[in-house]
Amino acid sequence: MIGTTTTDATRTTVNAFLAARANADTETLTALFADEVDWLLAENPVVPWIKPRRTAAECAAQFEELMAYIVPEDARASIDTFLVDGTEAVLFGHLSGTVRATGKSFEGPFALRLTVEEGRITRHHLYENSVSIAAACTA
């Protein structure tokens, strides 16, 4: 196990990331992402907000893009587990929402792996129920 100080710093950064997401604070999100991010979210051509990203601004913009395509009042995410060890954080939870264009809903579990170095997120790997999301995006 890596030192507690590093673990605490990672937890602080991830909590700031979660708060910025909850408050739709793109400026803070941009500052929390490193200049270049190892971004992983399985590409899905029928889901417009899922695409390759690399820069801090591109990664922070994902939330705004998501909100443009889904019904904000229906968007839900809950975290069941939040594990931190050194520079690594893993969150497990459940997400759901409704796609604005189709009126269809999606839901499912997710896992998010974040790496924090020097107070900035350098890795963002999200694993989610892409089948449910794709189905909700198609008419």
Residues found in the chain: 139
What is the value of pTM for the model shown? 0.92
Domain that holds residue 97: 6-137
Count of the separate structural domains present in the chain: 1
13-40 pLDDT tens trace: 999 999 999 998 999 999 999 999 999 9
Reported as a single tens digit per residue, the pLDDT across 57-73 is 999 999 889 999 999 99
In a domain, 102, yes or no: yes
Comparing CA positions, the residue from 111, 136, 137, 125 lying closest to residue 41 is 125
Residue 102 is part of a domain; what is its CATH number?
Answer: 3.10.450.50
The reply to whether 1 falls in a domain is no
What single letter denotes the amino acid at residue 19? Answer: A
Per-residue pLDDT for 2 more than 60? Answer: no
String of b and e for 74-92 (b: at least 16 CB within 10 Å)?
eeeeeeeeeebebbbbebe
With CA atoms as reference, report the closest residue to 126 among 31, 48, 59: 59
Rounded-to-integer distance, Cα 43 and Cα 24, Å: 23
Helix and strand counts by DSSP (H, E) for the chain: 4, 5
Q: Is residue 66 situated within a structural domain?
A: yes
